[in-house]
Amino acid sequence: MRPTAISLASLTLLALANTPGHTAGAAVREYVAPLHESKWLASEVEGQCQLEHHIPGIGDTKLRQGYREPISFELHITQEISLGTHCQVEIGPPPWRHNIKAQSLGTIKLVPDAKHVMAKGGAAQQIYQALEAGMMTSFSCRQQKRPLSGIKVVISPVHYRTALPEFQKCAANLGKKKPETKTAVSKPAAKPKAKSKAKSKKKT
């Protein structure tokens, strides 16, 4: 394996070691959930269906879908780690499916010290479908001024299909839920005020 290359061989070593924050070569650090810790959790949060996956040592990822909304993908960094200035997004096979070629989804430019990466529309849908097919999604992030160093965050598909039916059921039920409306309390109608009749004095 070349010193700074990101390869399936390095992912294989990482899976066998079961250790987050594995260093590939001299300056690229990889983060992925070990096989025995990889979990996906489906839930409904604030009217949106969510699939959440924790990546030890760096943060978590979320796939979200609201009513009549496209799927969105989020990578949230919770540790004091810099993603750099740009991330190369790639869909690739796990180590045990080496006969499948990786597919690039392009590059995401980041603001300095970014702790949040989001993808919507077609890119998020591709990530969703790739995980369902048992494929990994990786974010290789680097500093523009230091192209030979950086980090790689790998989204594992292990146990993704276990949580997927609950997520899909949640998404299907979103359209059936009617928004709660507050019932207005009707006040009793006010009684009309009786008109006072002025007494007329009779002249004698």
Both tokens of 14, joined, read 């990482």
Q: Which residue has the tokens 């160093």?
A: 149
pLDDT given at position 22: 55
Q: Which residue has the tokens 């879908």?
A: 65
CA distance 75 to 83: 11
Q: Is the pLDDT of residue 193 over 70?
A: no
Give me the amino acid identity at 180. E
Q: Mean of the per-residue pLDDT values for the chain?
A: 78
Q: What is the pLDDT of residues 85-134, one digit of tens each?
A: 888 999 999 887 878 888 898 888 887 778 888 888 899 999 999 999 99
pLDDT given at position 149: 72
CA distance 58 to 79: 5
Q: What's the pTM value of the predicted model, to 2 decimals?
A: 0.70
Domain ranges for the chain, please list them.
8-174
Instruction: Give the helix/strand (H/E) hosting 123.
Output: helix 122-132
Q: Computed over its alpha carbons, how large is the radius of gyration of the chain?
A: 28
Of residues 168 and 101, more confidence is placed in 168
Of residues 2 and 58, more confidence is placed in 58
Both tokens of 57, joined, read 């040592």
Q: Is the pLDDT of residue 16 over 50?
A: no
Q: What is the pLDDT of residues 136-150, one digit of tens each?
A: 999 998 876 666 678
Q: What is the pLDDT of residues 33-70, one digit of tens each?
A: 998 999 999 999 989 999 999 999 999 999 999 998 99
Of residues 102 and 24, more confidence is placed in 102
Map residue 8 onto helix, strand or coil: helix
CA distance 33 to 125: 22
Q: Which residue has the tokens 């990466």?
A: 117
Q: Is the pLDDT of residue 186 over 60?
A: no
Cα angle 120, 155, 107 (rounded to 5 degrees) comes to 50
pLDDT given at position 185: 53
Of residues 2 and 71, more confidence is placed in 71
CA distance 170 to 102: 31
Closest C-alpha to 151, from 110, 120, 122? 110
Check if CATH label 2.60.40.2540 holds for domain 8-174. Answer: yes
